[in-house]
Amino acid sequence: MTSGMQAAKKREIIEQLQKDLLLLQGYSPPSAHPVDVGLGPVVAAFPNAVFPVGAMHEFLSDTTEHTAATGGFIAGLLASLMRQGGVCVWISASRTVFPPALSTFGVSPDRIIFIDLEREKDVLWAMEEALKCEGLAAVIGEIRDISLTSSRRFQLAVEQSRVTGFMLRHQPRDRNAIACIARWRITPIASEPVDDMPGVGFPRWKVELLKARNGKPGVWQLEWAAGQFRTVDEKIVKHGAVIRKTG
Amino acid sequence: MCRRFVTIWFRHLITDWMIIRQPALKEQPFVVAAPEHGRMVITAASAAAQEEGISTGMVVADAKAAVAGLQVFDEKPGMAGRLLKALGKWCIRYTPVVAIDQPDGLILDASGCAHLWGGEEPYLKEIVTRLRAYGYDVRAAMADTIGTAWAVTRYGQVAPVSPGSGQPQASLSQSAPVISNLPQPVPVISNGGQLEALLPLPPAALRLEAGIVERLQKLGLYRISNFISMPRHALRRRFGQEILLRLDQALGYEEEAIEPLEPVQPYEERLPCLEPILTRTGIEIALERLLETLCARLQQEGKGLRTALLKCFRIDGRTEQVTIGTNRASHHAQHLFRLFENKIATLRPGPGIELFVLEAPKTEELPAQQETLWTSGCSLESIRLAELVDRLINRVGAHAIRRYLPDEHYWPERSVRQTADLLEKATTAWREDHPRPVQLLPKPEPVEVAAPIPDYPPMLFRYKGTLHRIKRADGPERIEREWWLEAGQHRDYYVVEDEEGRRYWLFRSGHYDADRSTGWFIHGFFA
């Protein structure tokens, strides 16, 4: 037996053991059909290196700029989730997202149904109703504060319907623990000029996975270029006097 | 289908109503009078007054001379019509088609309704008993035609109450079980029995003009049997076309149209209850049963409903109702039930609901659809999505649901068109040639800037007290105001990124002016 074969066998055993461990920890694979969301190395943070669809994700944002970055990141995820002609529902009590911008992230804005409500309470109710609707690509809810009980209800709903839910929490008063599979924070970082051309480069974000159930939290730098996520190599972003006339 | 009609005659409509309002009037004779040619003429006389020999059309002065202590009330114009209308609406619990028969009767189209009360005799008994329990002295009959029913009601021998005896009033005062006062033969004229029923009746039973009746009397034709076998041309020559028409209508050779009080909905289901319903569970069961039958019918006819209306008739005469709407035609009973479910709480059963009516005022064609074997995705056309949207609309209102379609405008606020229709298609493609911010402020907010030279992006700007030093910028992208829509300055948009990597959408309103730092606005945030 060569050392190469031995190593391969070893790796196989370790992978199997890891899977067994996850099962022992009470983890069940969230979906039978893994969706490739194009997140590259970020996906490795989740168990079995599969992006959890059919589960709840929480996004924290402190400022409007962060919310915009989060919106861009989610739109990038939606592009993959809605690839098969799906529909998604965006529920909010104070929506400022501008639908035409989503088309630059590969999402057709006319396939998003926006539900603009007046009260936070209605948002929770509408979100639960939408999450129960089988077949939706995703449900995005702008929820500022949510109790553990309400989030558990969402979790139960998505376990049944296999809908992916995103909770956008803008300046939550209380960062309480809620039932969700992942907690993210997306913040914008300086873009890099493309081929030394002047002007603003591709949207670039610091993607922080603060919490991942059965996974390994981490921090990455991603940018949206040419219709997909791209990991940014850790290198010092050049800052220079780049204000030049561009128009 | 054999048609069946019930006619109801309120023998003392106005005076009965007054007695119900003022029970003290019951014992004494009183009349209602209206001025006519400078004198007061009686328009309605109570049963007690009629026993004393007072009839309508008498002058009040004569009547007062005949009966001591006769009370006279002024007639309220239009009272009889209003009363009949209210009574007719009340009768809708027995059949959907109720018409007013001026001046003192009602016509009910009872076709296919009587079996719900266990047959025609119990049906008619129920109507008469209930009306008499309210205090109205009524007579009613049932027949194949309106004419025969009308004739038997007013001139029939097998009367439910012997005329002029004042018996109903007495029975009411004792509040004895009214049913015992009903005579055994109920005036239900069996199918096709019009001729036999009409033969012994006087000619006035045919709803003829007074002049014709008088002429028949003069000729000694006191009963319909005396002239019904005469040749038709002879009757027409002597008495005109009307007598033939009325005969034909009574015998069923001629159709007679009635105008229903409430237009009949083509899709309507009714559920009368034996016992008044008071609980939510009861209402839910009733609703489920109504929806099942209505949806089965809609499905059979290839239709779906867009709006549905549940009417609950309470035993105290009030009606409670709730409506729902769907954004796509539907005959899915379970879904419609869920839409109603939220609104059941708004129904007040009061003393109890005795009849549920479910109407579908608005229906649309709904061709049968292929059931999908695997429901993997959910497109805009899918029923599940439409049902979700229905549920949301029923709770929060239709204004909350929005979709956006591209519109052919460059002006950012007008570049999208809002629609509530799930199926509306975009007529143009989404434009991606110019960057647009993920977050757009509903109204541009002014910022303070320092801009070096014309047409250059600003070097720094202050927004909400924070100073942003701009590191990178794109622009300007000039967007002209659409002068045919509104007047104002154009905008020069810049995409800027500050030193912390935050990206903004700024614009200068109008042309550059070295003397001012105003005129700059922030309009959005990029991802």
Q: Smallest Cα–Cα separation from A158: which of A166, A168, A149?
A: A166
Please state whether B518 falls in left (phi above 0), alpha (psi between -120 and 50) or beta. Answer: beta
The size of the A-B interface in CB pairs under 8 A is: 201
pLDDT for A59 equals: 93
pLDDT for B160 equals: 42
pLDDT tens digit string along A73-120?
A: 999 999 888 887 788 999 999 888 999 999 888 888 988 999 999 888
Kindly determine whether residue A135 and residue B375, on different chains, have CB atoms separated by under 8 Å.
yes
- A95 and A1 in a single domain? The answer is no
| One-letter amino acid of B303 | K
User: Could you tell me if residue A71 is inside a domain?
Assistant: yes
Considering its fold, how many domains does chain A have in total? 2
CA dist A244 and B472 (Å) reads: 8
Residues lower than pLDDT 70 in chain A = 1, 26-33, 234-247
DSSP characters over B328-351:
EEE--HHHHHHHHHTTGGG---TT
- A150 and A58 in a single domain? The answer is yes
Per-residue pLDDT band at B44 (split at 50, 70, 90): confident
* Residue of chain A whose Cα is closest to the Cα of B441: A96
pLDDT for A173 equals: 87
Q: Smallest Cα–Cα separation from B467: which of B484, B447, B486?
A: B447
Mutate to test the interface with B, among A62, A104, A161, A162 (most CBs of B within 10 A): A104
Extract the tokens encoding A145.
């504060």
pLDDT tens digit string along B155-168?
A: 876 444 433 333 33
A93 interfacial to chain B (CB closer than 8 Å): no
- A96 and A140 in a single domain? The answer is yes
Of A204 and B77, more confident: A204
Of B135 and A208, more confident: A208
* Residue of chain B whose Cα is closest to the Cα of A111: B380
Q: CA-CA distances (angstroms) from residue B362 to B241, B303, B334?
A: 43, 10, 19
C-beta of residue A82 within 8 angstroms of C-beta of residue A35:
no
User: Could you tell me if residue A118 is inside a domain?
Assistant: yes
A15 interfacial to chain B (CB closer than 8 Å): no
For residue B406, which residues of chain A lie inside 8 Å, CB to CB?
A: 100, 109-110
Q: Say how far residue A147 (Cα) sits from the centre of its chain.
A: 21
Q: CA-CA distances (angstroms) from residue B278 to A157, B22, B74, B270, B353?
A: 34, 31, 42, 18, 7
For residue A191, which residues of chain B lie inside 8 Å, CB to CB?
A: 472, 497, 501, 503
Domain ranges in chain B? 5-195, 268-365, 439-525
CA dist B310 and B298 (Å) reads: 16
Own/partner contacts of A231-239, CB < 8 Å, gap of 24 or more, are A231/A40, A231/A41, A232/A192, A232/A204, A237/A189, A237/A190, A237/A192, A238/A192, A239/A190, A239/B471, A239/B499
CA dist B396 and A117 (Å) reads: 7
pLDDT for A238 equals: 45
CA dist A79 and B337 (Å) reads: 35
CA dist B268 and B179 (Å) reads: 32
Kindly determine whether residue B404 and residue A129, on different chains, have CB atoms separated by under 8 Å.
no
Per-residue pLDDT band at B67 (split at 50, 70, 90): confident
Per-residue pLDDT band at B516 (split at 50, 70, 90): low
H or E segment to which residue B71 belongs: strand B71-74
Kindly determine whether residue B440 and residue A98, on different chains, have CB atoms separated by under 8 Å.
yes
CA dist B309 and B321 (Å) reads: 7
- A21 and A70 in a single domain? The answer is no
The pLDDT of B96-118, averaged and rounded, is 84
What CATH architecture does domain B268-365 belong to?
A: 2-Layer Sandwich (3.30)
- A72 and A8 in a single domain? The answer is no
- A132 and A168 in a single domain? The answer is yes
Residue ranges of alpha helices (H) inside A82-136 are 99-102, 120-131
Phi/psi for A28 (5° steps) reads -120, 140
Cite the beta strand spans of B207-302 per DSSP E: 268-277
Half-sphere exposure of B178 (CA within 13 A, CB side): 23
Mutate to test the interface with A, among B472, B478, B494 (most CBs of A within 10 A): B472
* Residue of chain A whose Cα is closest to the Cα of B376: A135
DSSP characters over A42-55:
GGGGSGGG----SS
- A126 and A152 in a single domain? The answer is yes
pLDDT tens digit string along B435-450?
A: 899 999 989 999 988 8
The pLDDT of B351-363, averaged and rounded, is 88
Q: Are strands B503-509 and B520-525 parallel, antiparallel or unpaired?
A: antiparallel
Percent of chain B scored above 70 by pLDDT?
91
What is the spatial order of strands in the sheet that B491-498 belongs to? B439-446, B520-525, B503-509, B491-498, B466-479, B460-463, B448-450
Find where tokens 């940018």 sit. Answer: A223
Peptide bond between residue B103 and the one before it cis (omega within 30 degrees of 0): yes
CA dist B307 and B325 (Å) reads: 4
pLDDT for B208 equals: 84
Extract the tokens encoding A247.
């128009």
Domain residue limits at A204: 31-231
- A158 and A172 in a single domain? The answer is yes
What CATH architecture does domain B5-195 belong to?
A: 3-Layer(aba) Sandwich (3.40)
Q: Smallest Cα–Cα separation from B493: which of B514, B464, B520?
A: B520
pLDDT tens digit string along B256-300?
A: 888 888 777 778 888 888 888 888 899 999 999 999 999 888 888
Find where tokens 């592009």 sit. Answer: A79
C-beta of residue B14 within 8 angstroms of C-beta of residue B83:
yes
Other C-beta atoms lying within 10 Å of the C-beta of residue B223: 15
Q: Are strands B319-330 and B303-314 parallel, antiparallel or unpaired?
A: antiparallel
- A60 and A19 in a single domain? The answer is no
Bridge partners (DSSP) of residue A24 are none
Find where tokens 């939550």 sit. Answer: A172
CA dist B97 and B127 (Å) reads: 15
A204 interfacial to chain B (CB closer than 8 Å): yes
Which of B402, B432, B496 is facing A116, going by the closest CB pair?
A: B402
pLDDT for B370 equals: 60
pLDDT for B372 equals: 57
pLDDT for B432 equals: 84
Residue A114's Cβ-count burial label (10 Å; 0-12, 13-18, 19+) is buried
- A204 and A183 in a single domain? The answer is yes
A189 interfacial to chain B (CB closer than 8 Å): yes
CA of A169, closest CA in chain B: separation in Å? 15
Phi/psi for A91 (5° steps) reads -110, 135
C-beta of residue B186 within 8 angstroms of C-beta of residue B121:
yes
| One-letter amino acid of B3 | R
- Report the 3 state secondary structure along B167-212: HHHHHHHCCCCHHHHCCCCCCECCCCCHHHHHCCCCHHHHCCCHHH
Which of B382, B415, B472 is facing A242, going by the closest CB pair?
A: B472
Phi/psi for A18 (5° steps) reads -60, -40
C-beta of residue B140 within 8 angstroms of C-beta of residue B107:
no
User: Could you tell me if residue A40 is inside a domain?
Assistant: yes
* Residue of chain A whose Cα is closest to the Cα of B427: A110
For residue A96, which residues of chain B lie inside 8 Å, CB to CB?
A: 439-442
**What is the rounded (10 degree) CA torsion for B357, B358, B363, B365?**
-120
Kindly determine whether residue A100 and residue B436, on different chains, have CB atoms separated by under 8 Å.
yes
Mutate to test the interface with A, among B438, B445, B453 (most CBs of A within 10 A): B438
Kindly determine whether residue A224 and residue B527, on different chains, have CB atoms separated by under 8 Å.
yes
Which of B436, B438, B501 is facing A190, going by the closest CB pair?
A: B501
- A3 and A36 in a single domain? The answer is no
pLDDT tens digit string along B184-231?
A: 456 788 787 788 888 888 888 888 888 888 888 888 888 888 888 888
The pLDDT of B74-96, averaged and rounded, is 85
For residue A110, which residues of chain B lie inside 8 Å, CB to CB?
A: 403-406, 425-426, 430
User: Could you tell me if residue A116 is inside a domain?
Assistant: yes
Q: What is the mean pLDDT of chain B?
A: 82
- A124 and A224 in a single domain? The answer is yes
pLDDT tens digit string along B301-332?
A: 888 888 899 989 888 888 888 988 888 888 88
User: Could you tell me if residue A238 is inside a domain?
Assistant: no
